[in-house]
Chains A and B, each alone.
Chain A
Amino acid sequence: MVSTTDASEIGLDRLPPEAGPVVGKDRGASTGFLLSLPATLLILVVIVFPFAYVAGMSLYNEATGEFVGTANFRRVLSSTDFLPSVRVSLVWTISNLVIQTVCGLALGLFLNQRFRGRDAARTLFLVPFVVPTAVVALMFSWMVNSTFGVFNHLILTSGLSDTPINFLGDPRFALPTVVLINCWRWIPLVALIIFSILQGIPRSEYEAARVEGAGHWATFRFITFPYLGRSMTAIGLLGTLLTFNIFDLIWLLTAGGPVNRTKSLPVLIYEFAFGLQNLGAAAAASVLMFLMLLVFTLLYFQRRDFKVE
């Protein structure tokens, strides 16, 4: 950063400082606006306008173009698939978040220690996250294959079960299996985010705790944990919404089956639109899902009394 004295000596005080001065209508302000305009427009065209459109679509019969009021919503709410899908979505989101937070915290704390190969390990752990979802689905479909899969080989040879388990085809195992595969993918990322928060905790806090004779647990409880907690509220919201919205992994592994046991709301919306070719119902289900997430977000902000900076 340029200190003010140096700047004025060589005439740099006329330049906007780090974050730029609050200026009215000069050239600088319009340049900033123009620079961010293309990105803004693209987001509006791809996300915001289509969503406004979907809200409109939910009130019409897409095939005939006539206004049908709440008929699409009634159609969705009276569908025998809707409530089970809400349930699947809740189980999916909550179990993913719990497992990922617990395991991500453990892995993050582990990576926060110093040992040889830590940096290499951190890079390797990111690979599951960057690999295409279709590759993840492919690898696990093959590993959990009930005839030739390596998991069933291990289960049978170790005597855990004497019949092979059909992980993705058995209604009892399908959802837990998909949840665990998704956790496999996200835990390393959660761990690395926790790790980068841990690295940001000032050293002096730990020094002070040591001087006062705090043990490992007390240090964790009164320094590490509150720091993490503060940062995790923001990340928790992002994680909840991202997890709730996952469509591709579920669709690739089970397509919502067996007997709808993995049919979460995004999969249901997809089915309304492209399976049943009922765009109006799909639009209505989209609006309902949006309202659910909106209510959740508002409650979250209120309860956590979030500081919006």
Chain B
Amino acid sequence: MASSTPAPARSAAPVRNLGGAILRGLTLIVLLLIFMFPFYWMVATSVQTAEGLFSGVKIVPDTFTLANYQSVLQSDFVRINVRNSLLIATGTTLLTTLLALAASLGYLRYRYRGRRFFSRLVVLVYLFPTVLVLVPLYFVASRLGLLNNPFGLMAVHSVLALPLCLWILQSYLEGVPREPEEAAMVFGASRARAFRIATLPLAAPGILAAAAFAFILSWGEFMFAFIMGPDPARKTVPVALKDLFSSYAMDWGVVTAAGVAATIPVLLLFWLMAKYLAAGLAKGAFD
């Protein structure tokens, strides 16, 4: 930056001295160990045989088997629970992304009566204790016969995902240049068409990030899924996991294999939104 003056060492400068580099490296290793070890441990447990697990704790497993994964694949977990969760998470993703896209467009492109009310209402979803609506939602859902109904859960998950999806989309769309859209309108395209052909492709990473967040949230949501889907045939992945690891006849090899299976879809989608998650949260907090 200041090239003419010999800049003194600053913390933000690239690594210059060896001691600092080693210290940073060690800190990073310790931090990764703290935050990544549980995952390693889950995977390491899932590939051990039962004898291996119960012959004592070994940091590096000395037995290897895929039998646990085989039993997970053949169990109701994949046949029923993964299927339920895929259905609900996909529905939630489509619904949330559409609602959030429409609303963020309305919010960014137009000024209308109730615009402020809308943004306040959105923040309210996270400020409001969701456990408080658990009781009435359960009550109403059971009266209306909406218990065990995937659409009820999709609606609830959409509301939970909506605020952050909106913030991710708004902060992304704000950075998308408007010139192409305006140019398209000059050439006679309608507003909707101009948006579709000019802005939508440019906004794709933001839309994907919002969609990935909605999917991950719905896939992992426990509380409402637990209450609103008591029928064993309707249980989602998190609810089934709870049954698995809190049952008395616990086979930790199989339980951890199921845990790994529940984590994989999240990891596949997560990199789409990793960059935008913190930015979206920060945006929501300041609005």
**A residues with CB within 8 A of B:** 1-2, 10-12, 15-16, 18-23, 28-36, 38-40, 42-48, 50-51, 53-54, 57, 62, 107, 110, 112-117, 121-143, 145, 148-150, 153, 184, 188-189, 192-193, 195-197, 203, 206-207, 210, 216, 231, 234-235, 237-238, 241-242, 244-245, 247-248, 251-252, 266, 269-270, 273-274, 279, 282-283, 286, 289-290, 293, 297, 309
Contacting residues, chain A, for B284 (C-beta < 8 A): 238
Query: B129 near A115 (CB under 8 angstroms)?
Result: no
Determine the residue in chain B with the shortest Cβ distance to A249.
Answer: B222
Contacting residues, chain A, for B182 (C-beta < 8 A): 2, 12, 15
Query: B132 near A269 (CB under 8 angstroms)?
Result: yes
Contacting residues, chain B, for A121 (C-beta < 8 A): 28, 31-32
Query: B132 near A113 (CB under 8 angstroms)?
Result: no
- Given that A123-B271, A139-B42, A141-B245 are contacting pairs, would A32 and B132 also be in contact in the complex, using a CB cutoff of 8 Å? no
Contacting residues, chain A, for B134 (C-beta < 8 A): 269-270, 273
Determine the residue in chain A with the shortest Cβ distance to B114.
Answer: A33
Query: A113 near B277 (CB under 8 angstroms)?
Result: no
Bound-state Cα–Cα, A286 to B159, Å: 20
Interface SS of B by simple majority? helix
**B residues with CB within 8 A of A:** 1-2, 8, 10-15, 21, 24-25, 27-28, 31-32, 34-36, 38-39, 41-42, 45, 53-54, 56-57, 59, 99-100, 102-103, 105-115, 118, 121-122, 124-140, 155-156, 158-159, 162, 166, 178-179, 182, 185-186, 191, 216, 219-220, 222-223, 227, 237-239, 241-242, 244-246, 252, 255-256, 259, 262-263, 266-267, 270-271, 274, 277-279, 281-282, 284-287
Query: A46 near B111 (CB under 8 angstroms)?
Result: no
Bound-state Cα–Cα, A266 to B227, Å: 14
Within 8 Å by CB of A32, from B10, B45, B115, B286, lies: B115
Determine the residue in chain A with the shortest Cβ distance to B124.
Answer: A47
Query: B266 near A128 (CB under 8 angstroms)?
Result: no
- Given that A54-B136, A286-B135 are contacting pairs, would A40 and B121 also be in contact in the complex, using a CB cutoff of 8 Å? yes
Within 8 Å by CB of B112, from A33, A141, A231, A279, lies: A33
